[in-house]
Amino acid sequence: MSKTFRIGGIHPHDNKISVNAAIENFPVMERAYISMSQHLGAPAEPVVAKGDKVKTGQLIAKANGFISANIHSSVSGTVNSIEMLPDLAGNLVQHVVVNVEGDEWMESIDRTPEINRVIKDSPQDIIAKIAECGVVGLGGAAFPTHIKLSPPPGKKAEFLLVNGAECEPYLTSDYRIMLENTEEILIGVKLMMSALGVKRAYLGIEENKPQAIKKMKEIASKGYQEIKIVSLKKRYPQGGEKQLIDAITGRQVPSMGLPIDVGVVVQNVGTALAVYEAVQKNKPLFEGVVTVTGKCMPEQRNFRMRVGTTFESMIFAVGGFPKDAEKLVSGGPMMGKAVSRIEAASVKSTSALLLLTEEETKRGEEANCIRCAKCVDACPMGLEPYLLNRLSRANRIEDLEANMVHDCIECGSCLYVCPADIPLLDTIRLSKTKVLKIIRSRPKK
């Protein structure tokens, strides 16, 4: 029996058209644009200067503050410049730009294909290596992994949940690594279990990926019995942290709470693979699998790609910019970000590049709310988007807080289902920011 979360949810069309494309290595570009702000928290502090020679995997920026992460060069060559460049949304962010010369890796990285199954490191050493290698959550938020694996004092993790749901339409990068790097992921999960000191882990996969479930179960039965593979119903947003916890454990994270409040830590399968590579292979996080897809594209492929690759080069690798493509999305179509300039570069957590035609992405003209309650049915947090939209437009902050606008996970289900094309999430997102700011400004009890 497949599990799922209990409140709301929608069933957008899968469109996983790149599902059968095996992972290929993306050619290293001429120049890498490496952002210093690839994670949640403070930007990293560059430790290289213009003109320095760097190797692939060499530390080029150190974590700056408690919530931050190290950044390593994804290429070898000479530092061309350290400058403020627009990121995919157009915000100016410090970048280290490296002119590529060959591809010389740090000697410390184990590049042999053999799977290293023996876990030698202590929990503390595992966390230290993860921090050293700059591993961040690859499910979207890019929260530094070593912090998530170190619960605050007084909080104890009981389970580790691993997210292999990949509930966003179009995306197939997690699916491909689950098929192609199955055992590495399971070892990564074991490493994180050891770091957390938990005895049990659950790896959830949606049932539209039967081959991944089969392969995971098969490998898990050979020495990874403490990791239970859970089949999940296909339903968006199954991969939302709170929804995944509800689906697998039946526990609900309280409002404003964290998974650790119900004894759970959630990590993505991509993160598990990065943890394996960091701890067992000494390989920092400087490349990842990116799905390059879209119905208007001549081909849809999955690439293992260096951080700092421009969207432009990805598009040209699959045949150029299609005439009818109007929107470029980094990530999935439900929660991904629209890219404003194709010269922007990928970051550690980039999971996909999706090109959509105007027809596919068009929103209809806003009409009156007919109170069909489809948004209420769709909201996975049990909120009332139609009401929050009205309150947001009237700027009724107190009523917004009373109606829990701060619980919104911005999954977009309400806007997706709305027959009147009301920009529900747009207005809710704005008022959520205001309400959260007020809540956080209050003195702590």
Partner 1 sequence: MKKLIVSPAPHLHGNESTKSLMRDVIIALVPSLLVSVYFFGFSAIKLALVGVATAVAVEYVIQRYIVKSKITVNDYSAALTGLLLSLNLPPNSPWWIMFIGSVVAIGIAKMTFGGVGQNLFNPALVGRVFLLVSFPVIMTDYSIPTSWFREGIDASSGATALSIVKEGLAKGLTMDQIFSENNFSYAQMLFSKIGGSVGEVSALALILGFVYLLIRRVIRPHIPLAIIGTVLLFSGIFWLINPQMYADPLFNVLTGGILIGSIFMATDYVTSPMSKKGMVLYGVGIGIITMLIRYWGAYPEGISFAILIMNATVPLINMYMKPAKFGKEVKHG
Residues 167-206 that bind partner 1 (CB under 8 A): 169
292 in contact with partner 1 (CB under 8 A): no
Site for partner 1 in 1-20 (CB under 8 A): 7, 10, 12
Mapped to the 3 state alphabet, what secondary structure does 132-185 carry? HCCCECCCCCCCEHHHHCCCCCCCCCCEEEEEECCCCCCCCHHHHHHHHCHHHH
Closest CA to 352 of 371, 377, 332: 332
What is the sign of the dihedral through the CA atoms of 273, 279, 281 and 286?
positive
d(CA 230, CA 205): 6
Does position 401 bind partner 1 by CB under 8 A? no
Q: For 260, which DSSP code?
A: G
Q: What's the DSSP call for residue 106? A: P
Q: What is the nearest approach in angstroms of partner 1 to the Cβ of residue 86?
A: 12
CA–CA distance, 338 with 359 (Å, rounded to integer): 16
Q: How far apart (Å, rounded) are the C-alpha atoms in residues 60 and 74?
A: 10
Q: Is the CB of 194 or the CB of 392 nearer to partner 1?
A: 392
Q: CB 238 → partner 1: shortest distance, Å?
A: 14
**Region from 58-66, 102-110, 192-200, 412-420 binding partner 1, contact rule CB under 8 A:** 412-420
Q: Counting contacts by CB under 8 A, is residue 362 touching partner 1? A: yes
Verify binding: residue 299, partner 1, rule CB under 8 A: no
Enumerate residues 6+ apart whose C-beta is below 8 A from 348: 38, 39, 134, 136, 138, 142, 285, 286, 288, 307
Strand pairing of 59-62 and 200-206? Answer: unpaired
DSSP, residue by residue, 264-311: EEEEEHHHHHHHHHHHHH---S-EEEEEEE-TTSS--EEEEEETT-BH
Q: Does 353 bind partner 1 (CB under 8 A)?
A: no
Least distance between partner 1 and beta carbon 404 (Å): 6
Q: Do residues 171 and 18 make contact, with C-beta atoms less than 8 angstroms apart?
A: no
- 217, 429, 436, 438: which one binds partner 1 (CB under 8 A): 429
Ramachandran angles phi, psi of 430, nearest 5°: -65, -45
Burial class (CB in 10 A: 0-12, 13-18, 19+), 35: buried
Among 59, 386, 406, 431, binds partner 1 (CB under 8 A): 386
404 belongs to the binding site for partner 1 (CB under 8 A):
yes
Contact between 415 and partner 1 per CB under 8 A: yes
Q: Give least dist CB 321 to partner 1, A.
A: 6
Pattern 62-81, binding to partner 1, x per CB under 8 A?
Answer: --------------------
Interface stretch with partner 1, choices 70-78, 101-109, 251-259, 435-443 (CB under 8 A): 251-259
Q: In angstroms, give the least distance from the CB of 373 to partner 1.
A: 4
Of 251, 304, 390, 396, the residue at the interface with partner 1 (CB under 8 A) is 251
Q: How far is the CB of 441 from partner 1 (least distance, A)?
A: 20
Least Å distance between CB 271 and partner 1? 22
253 near partner 1 (CB under 8 A):
yes
For helices 210-220 and 173-180, give the axis angle rounded to 10 degrees. 40
Regarding 27 and contact with partner 1 (CB under 8 A), the answer is: no
Binding mask 258-287 for partner 1 (x = CB under 8 A): ---xx-------------------------
- Among 84, 382, 394, 440, the residue binding partner 1 under the rule CB under 8 A is 382
